[in-house]
Amino acid sequence: MPLVLVLLAIAALVALPFLSDLYTRPLRNEVVSVAEPGRNQVTRIHVALAVQGSALHDYIESRDTSLVRRFWAAMAEEDSALRALDGLADQMGRPARDRLNDLARQQDRWRAFAERDLVDTSAPSKGRAEAREQVFDDVLDAAARLDSTIDEAVRTKRQRIASAQRTQSRLALALGLIAIAAAFAVAWLGQRLQRATRDAESRRIALEHATEARARFVRGISHDLKNPLNAIDGHAQLLEDEVRGPISSDQRDSITRIRRSVRSVLSLIDDLLELSRVEAGQLAISLARTSLGDVVAETVEEHRAAAEATGHRMRLELAPEIPEVVTDEKRVRQVLGNLLSNAIKYTPGGGSIEIRIATRERHQRERGQWVAVDVRDSGPGIPAHMQESIFGEFARLAEHAARPGSGLGLAIARRIARLLGGDISVSNEADTGSCFTFWLPADARAHAARRGTDRLRGD
């Protein structure tokens, strides 16, 4: 915005003299080509009238005929000046035209009067001489009024020119000040932007360092925890397998509980490790053309035994034409495995789990073709208000808090899905439990584009 102001002010400063000239030039032209020549003609009329007055007066006194010629020569001079004025009067405005008409009328009266005095050679009466003087004064007055009207017109035009020039200088000053203020604002904003960019960059670096430090810490602590935990599990197994001697059924029961708890802690540590790797951008992704139908079918088969152990029916439905996609097969198995394990774990025994894979379109924001893997179960479903937060770290439904699990599985799965250019969404089918959908882009271009935006989003 200030930059626009600077540019506008500069443009206005450049345009100002032209605009001012556009306004004042016609006025100056009028003064030069109309008003001043008008005044010259009026001066000619004054001079001619003076000559006429004195020639007529002297003629009546002396009857010298050369004075008659002089009179008519002055009259011709005045007529010529009146004609010239007639050509200019319309451009000088209405008052000048009225005064000129008035002068022409008085002039006609004066001419008629003078003509009679030039023809009549008898000695003029005193009354006639007075009347002649009166007519002569009238014509002189008319000429003086025309003169002052033209004078006034010239003055008005000169005033308008001067006022336009004053306005131009004031505007130029104001625009100059605006341009300077806006330039300062641009410089100030530029500095602020630079500072904000530097701050954002140093925050990003600090965050990167913190994430890296946390990943290092998690790796270190995981290592230190996993070693003794594996030792505990190993020794518990020796006891369970009765390598150290026979055990009672109560002892076996306790050992089984110990081993289950140890495995649960070990799996939590694995999840934490995986999450810190994803966050630190250290999760290796190796892309290759993959037959997704086969990968899904194999992963489902790997989970079938676990599903059947809890009495679930598991059904896979493959659409006839699933395109090959560019993706990381190992990560696809990991994400899908998590969704299947959850469906098995959170669906009450004897339920049904359906896996369907097909190419579909997503909502408008995500153009292009997608391969969608639906994992639908007959469990309790995810309440609508939890369907987004369930993907957060350590998020679990209250009713599952007592079950083994860390609340990290979906958080990791979604991040991996996004690293693959896809996503995971969840919806509830009416009365049939939840339906988790694992989306993967069907063509490599969409894949590349999405991976680019994900990196920008810092996912």
* Binding stretches for ligand ADP (CB under 6 A): 338, 342-343, 346, 377, 379-380, 382, 390, 395-397, 400, 405-411, 434
Q: Which residue has the tokens 């050679």?
A: 121
Q: Pick the closer one to ligand ADP by CB: 106 or 347.
A: 347
Helix (H) or strand (E) holding 423: strand 423-428
Instruction: Report, in Å, the least distance between residue 290 CB and ligand ADP.
Output: 24
How near is the Cβ of 357 to ligand ADP at its closest, in Å?
Answer: 17
CB of 458 to ligand ADP, least distance (A): 21
Host H or E run for residue 356: strand 352-361
Q: 12 or 306: whose CB is closer to ligand ADP?
A: 306
Using the minimum distance from each CB to ligand ADP, give the nearer residue, 20 or 338.
338
- Cβ-based nearer residue to ligand ADP, 136 or 346: 346
**Gap between the Cα atoms of 240 and 366, Å rounded:** 53
What is the smallest separation between the CB atom of 437 and ligand ADP, expressed in angstroms? Answer: 12
**Minimum distance from CB of 380 to ligand ADP (Å)?**
6
Nearer to ligand ADP, 150 or 382 (CB): 382
CA gap 405, 394 in Å, rounded: 9
In the complex, minimum distance from the CB of residue 391 to ligand ADP, in angstroms, rounded to a whole number: 8
Q: What is the DSSP letter of 366?
A: S
User: Does residue 285 come out as left (phi exceeding 0), alpha (psi in the -120 to 50 range) or beta?
Assistant: beta
Which residues share a beta bridge with 373?
Answer: 357, 438
Find, among 320, 307, 318, 397, the residue nearest to 353 by Cα.
Answer: 307
Residues counted in the chain: 459
To the nearest whole angstrom, how small is the minimum distance from the Cβ of residue 270 to ligand ADP?
A: 11
Task: Specify the residue, 325 or 410, whose C-beta has the smaller distance to ligand ADP.
Answer: 410
If you ran DSSP here, which 8-state letter would residue 120 be given? Answer: -
Nearest distance from C-beta of residue 424 to ligand ADP, angstroms: 11
The DSSP call for residue 35 is I
Q: Which is nearer to ligand ADP, 305 or 402 (CB)?
A: 402
Nearer Cβ to ligand ADP (53/433): 433
Least CB distance to ligand ADP at residue 338 (A):
6
What three-state secondary structure class fits 122? coil
DSSP 8-state symbol, 400: G
Cβ–Cβ under 8 Å, residues 329 and 286? no
* Nearest-approach distance from CB 343 to ligand ADP, in angstroms: 5
Q: Comparing C-alpha atoms, which of 375, 357, 356 is closest to residue 424?
A: 375
Minimum Å gap between C-beta 454 and ligand ADP is 20
Q: Token pair of 402, please?
A: 């007592």
Strands, DSSP E only, in 130-266?
none
Helix ranges, 241-349 (H)? 249-279, 292-309, 329-346
**Quick one: 87 or 348, whose CB is closer to ligand ADP?**
348
Alpha helices in 93-125 (DSSP H): 94-119
Task: Pick between residue 331 and residue 396 the one whose CB is nearest to ligand ADP.
Answer: 396
Least distance CB 451 / ligand ADP (angstroms): 23
Looking at residue 405, the DSSP 8-state letter turns out to be -
**Per-residue buried b or exposed e for 298-332, using 16+ beta carbons within 10 Å of the residue's own CB:** ebbeebeeebeeeebebebebeeebeebbbbbebb
Structure tokens that stand for 340 in this block: 């299947």
Q: Please, is 227 exposed, middle or buried when counting C-beta atoms within 10 Å of its C-beta (0-12, 13-18, 19+)?
A: exposed
**CA–CA separation, 48 vs 70, rounded Å?**
10
User: Would you call 384 exposed, middle or buried from its count of C-beta atoms within 10 A (0-12, 13-18, 19+)?
Assistant: exposed
**Matching residue, tokens 């439905």:** 317
* Smaller CB separation from ligand ADP, 276 or 434: 434
Q: Which is nearer to ligand ADP, 241 or 317 (CB)?
A: 317
